[in-house]
Structure formats: C-alpha cells, structure tokens
Amino acid sequence: MFSHERIIIRRGPESGVPIIVAVHSTKLGPALGGCRLKTYGQWQDGLADAVRLSAAMTDKCALAGLPNGGGKTVIALPPDATPDGALRAAALHDAGTVIEELSGQYATGPDVGTGPDDMVTIGERTSHVFCRPVEAGGSGDSSPGTATGTVAALRAVCEARFGSPSPAGRSFAVVGLGRVGGRVARLLAEAGAKLVVADVDPVRKSLADELGAAWTSPDEAMTAPVDVLVPAALGGVLTPTTVAALRCAAVAGPANNQLDAPATADLLHARGIPWAPDYVVSAGGVISATAVELHHESPQQVTARLDAIAGTLTAVFTTAERDGITPSAAALAEAHRRLGQ
Ligand code: PHE
C-alpha cells in the first residue's frame, strides 16, 4: 500500500545528482528524518531506501512520543562518485533547496554519510535542519543521543531476556563501529560487557584494540555466539538466511531498517530470539535533537527522555508476551494507535 504524503525526486540543479525527499506522514506534526548521502548502484535503490526509511521514521517518532511525523532525504550518488569536495556541497545545497520548498512540513538532520558540518551546508538553503554544530547554533552530533538511547534499550533487552538490566559480564556483538556503533561499543565496554566488534573499514580495528574487544569480520560477528547481537550499520542485515544462522539470544541495535522484509520478524520469533524493533532502539537521535533545539531542555531532561526508551521497549516486550505476538507487531500496533489508524 502506498502511504506516503509526498515524495520529491529531482535531478539536483547544482549537483546533477538525484535528490530524493520523502515525506511519509505529518499526521502528528512536521516530519523529521535524516539526510543519507551515499553511493547507490542505481538511483532507484536510493528511492527505495527513502521510501522505507521515511515510513520507519513515522513509527520512530510516534513511539518516541514526539509531536512529529516521518520523512527522509536521500542523496543518491552514482556508484563511482567520491562524496566530497564541490560535488558534496552542491548536492547538500540541492537537498536544502527541496527541503526549503516544503515550508517546514519536513526537517532534516544527520544520517548515514552526513554529520553536523553537512547540516551547516544544507542550512545555507533552509532553516529546517537539526544538528548543526553547537558553535553554529545547533545541538551538534546526534549520535551520542542515539548511542545513549541504544544502551538504555539494551538494558531493557537484558532485563527482559536475562532478568537483569546490567550489561556487566554479558556478551555483545556490535556490527558497525561508525559514529553510533563506536559509541555503543565504548559505553558497553565501560559498563563491563564482553565485546565482539566488526566493521567493513579496517581502520576501526584500533577501537577494538582500545576497548579490549575481539575484532572480527561483519559476517562472523553476525553469527557470533553472544547474548545480544547489536546491528549498528546499514539495514537489511536480518534475512531468512542470516536469521537461520544466528547464535545470539536477542537482537537489538540502532541500525535503521534491519529486517529485509517485515515477515523476517516472524522468523526471529519462531527461533525464540527477541528482536527489539530498530525504530524504538534508535530514537535517541531525534529525541535529543528536538529536546535541545525545539524544547530547550536541560541535559538532565534529555537524559530522562533517552532513558524512557527502556520503558517503551519493556512495554513492547510485555504486550508481545501477553498477546503472543512478535515485538515488532506489538510496536507497530502501538504506533498505529498513536497515529489514530
Ligand atoms: N538519522 C536520524 C534517525 O535515523 C535522523 C535525525 C536525527 C533527524 C536528528 C533529525 C535529528 O533517527
């Protein structure tokens, strides 16, 4: 079913690259969703990403209790492009121009491939942008908020699965050590967890060494025999094939759109592996950015909001258990209820 309010696809006049802005829903308020900048085999793959990711943002904002809907921007670079220099700035300007035309119905922020400095560039064309650096008047990088919220979610997962929220002495496989995954790994290490970590970029091995974590390949980390698997990179990693090979007791991570298809949640359930819906786990970025920039909240208030992700997830697990449904079905039912559907 097509449920998006609006999708704009445009050859960026400044950059010549495809700019896609998807507004899924403004039912609860202006749509929010980051700007993804990466290469795609074909631009249609970027469109598919924008379609799925923007819909997930609607559920993310609804379950986070935010007065916002879901959207997403994708800058779909051709496969051979290097995303820096003049092309990067031009493409970000093009995205800003499209966002400005939406007159506040949608605001963007960082996502895979973009950070606070890029938000300054987008901000040269529109004011509807979160997470500029603090010096530039924004709330800065959203990944610390996402990581803190993820760890709150992981505590709820440990509580539900093992009877104690503490990560101390538990084992986690963190797949992806980017801005969010790297921080999650660090927070877990500080809390006394045992870690297996992986990233496609070999440079990140230095973090593994620093944290005393076992370094392995992303494929091996996916099937590591750990308490909790933490997908923290790109989406689509949970497929019928990977789910059959899992050796973890639970899956919960901040990567967006982890399931290749909704039905994969049923396969996880059938294997007795609870999956924490990614749109619940990863809400810390939007939660912290809007708390600081729109509601001018104190650090204590922001921390309380991030901790509340644990309560949301616990409620999801409790409902799922009570009704004999997957956590995914329980979360979606609650999101739909909040959206009045
Ligand atoms: N990348 C963030 C997410 O997926 C999007 C975001 C962060 C949007 C901060 C606005 C502000 O949730």
Q: Cα–Cα distance between 31 and 106 in angstroms, integer? A: 4
Task: Supply the pLDDT for residue 133.
Answer: 98
Task: Supply the pLDDT for residue 234.
Answer: 84
Per-residue pLDDT reduced to its tens digit, 29-77: 999 999 999 999 999 999 999 999 999 999 999 999 999 999 999 999 9
Q: Cα–Cα distance between 119 and 124 in angstroms, integer? A: 9
Query: Helices in 195-298 by DSSP H: which ranges?
Result: 205-211, 218-222, 240-245, 264-270, 278-281, 284-293
Q: Give me ligand 1 centre to Cα 291, in Å.
A: 13
The one-letter amino acid at 225: P
Q: Cα–Cα distance between 196 and 213 in angstroms, integer? A: 6
Its pTM surpasses 0.90: yes
Q: Give me ligand 1 centre to Cα 114, in Å.
A: 11
**Confidence at 134, pLDDT banded by 50, 70, 90:** very high
Indicate if ligand 1 lies below 6 Å from the C-beta of 174: no
Indicate if ligand 1 lies below 6 Å from the C-beta of 256: yes
Indicate if ligand 1 lies below 6 Å from the C-beta of 12: no
Indicate if ligand 1 lies below 6 Å from the C-beta of 53: no
Q: Domains in the chain, please, with CATH? A: 6-54+69-136 (3.40.50.10860), 144-338 (3.40.50.720)
